[in-house]
Structure 1
Amino acid sequence: MSLKKTKLVIPSWTQIYRGTTVTVRCEIHAGEGAQWTYEWKPAKLNTPPTSSVYTINRVTESDGGGYSCRGTRSSSWTECSDIITLRVTGPTVTLQPSWTQIYSGETVIVRCEIQGGEGAQWTYEWRPDKLKTRQIYSVYTISRATKADSGGYSCRGRRFSWTEWSDITTLTVLPKPKAELRADRTAVPVGGSVTLTCSVISSSGWKYYWYTHRKSYQILTNGQISVSEGGLYWCRGGRGEPVYYTEWSKSVWIDTTEKSSSYELLPDGSGTAQDSYIIHGQTHTAGYVCRAGRGDPEYHTDHSQPKFVWSAGQFVSLCPFNKLMLGHHFYSPRFIKISSP
């Protein structure tokens, strides 16, 4: 008697999912109505009654692999069916961007991905419960994250039955960071430069935005620049699209060994008992210093640290030598504008 052909029938997909139910069926061509006994591979499928149908309840990783069957009747066997390989997977929660540590105000997309399930009509369920308002969608967007968005996220999908829950992906939302600026020296040496380093602690993906009192400087990914001019420098970090910015760093003043700026005595700045000076209608950014003097011949203090005015308008400059006194003699402040050569 010729061997009959055996066919293993499974659902139309070979990708199966943890937690779901899958039925495989063994069919023997032209064997309808006969009393067949069936043998399955892998061998664990022979434990239940050797029928033509085998149901896998709550699929696990161990259910993956190759399946085949054959039938027997009156001491004769059919051919073995072709081997069909079932691949077991489950849903995965992914983040876009992929950082699991984000900052207050950032935007992150939480996505439930089911490998091999593209194009199918899935229903999704999310944890934590607050995400259930968007149950039918595979994507959940957290706009302007807050501390309340910290925690574990997981999902599952349903087509005919529910998959298992995905592993938990933990998202941590931290307060808005502040960039840190460091200089390897405080003054530009003759013919040399100063290295400035901008960083954001314990995170990645940043570009660094550099500024001076003259202009916006440049955007870099490595957070380090070399400068050969003295002046005031500061920075901040930015990442994502649209760009999310950190707080500004503290500013750093870099002196210069070579004289790169000159001092211009302001009108009526030749000496006054007042410790303030009003500047009207300034049209560009400029720095101001003051110093005080007394006696005849006159003795001068050092110049104060510079203060910069960023826009046009009225500005009141205060000299830190207010009522500085030795004996009965007051210093007279002088207000000076810093001019580039």
Structure 2
Amino acid sequence: MLFPDVHSAASLTVSPDRVQHFTSDSVSLTCEGNFTEWRVRKFSEDGRLYSDCGRMTGSTCNINTSESDTGVYWCESGSGEFSSAVNITVQNDGNGPILVSPVHPVTEGASVSLSCSLKTQKILSNVFFYHNDKLIQNDTRGELKISAVSKSDEGFYKCQSSGRESAQSWMSVKVTGPSSSPVWLMVGLVCGVSLIIILLLLLYRCRQSKYSCFTRSIQSESHSPGSSTNHGVNQNQTHVYGSLQHGQHLN
């Protein structure tokens, strides 16, 4: 079961910090944040919602794990703040291995180590590691180390040792984008406004320049010799037409 990550003032830590646990393990779930009242809520595999831990001491829920403790857990404060949810899986095969993987999402670029463990033996060798059911490592190393986690490393992981296979657990990768400083936002805003003002001024000057050129062109045409001649011809034509109307003879 997977629940989305929630950004909140409340947080939940799990000790030991791993998703999978053996039966009869002692697991502590601690709520953290600037609140006085806490409860740990659980959504079980069979779809039941449990409103409290039942074994709460202050802000910590202590569990002596059994198979029924498998589920999704999160903290809720008295004022209604929620933490991110975490998956807890309890191994029902006492002789089988568990995958040791982090409870919370791994930040992109960080390093992470996954290992395979038995109840009687913490670190195993000759382990097969799988990512989304694809074999990615098979050698004498007992750990799968990823030096710089990327988003492509997100997915389901499981391990296999001596013919026995662990349950699979989801490893999330948290991508952190570039932070936007208020100073840089102001600089960008000022630059953008300045650019718009400059473009408007250039457009205004360009239009003024075109209008000035057009005006000068008209004025130059009206004062050209050809225009004066045409004006004289028009006056003569008017004089001739008027004389004809009054029956005068033209010399």
**More helix by proportion, 1 or 2?**
2
Name the structure, 1 or 2, with higher relative contact order (CA <8 Å, separation 6+). Answer: 2
Range of TM-score over shorter length: 0.3 to 0.5
Of structures 1 and 2, the larger Rg is shown by 2
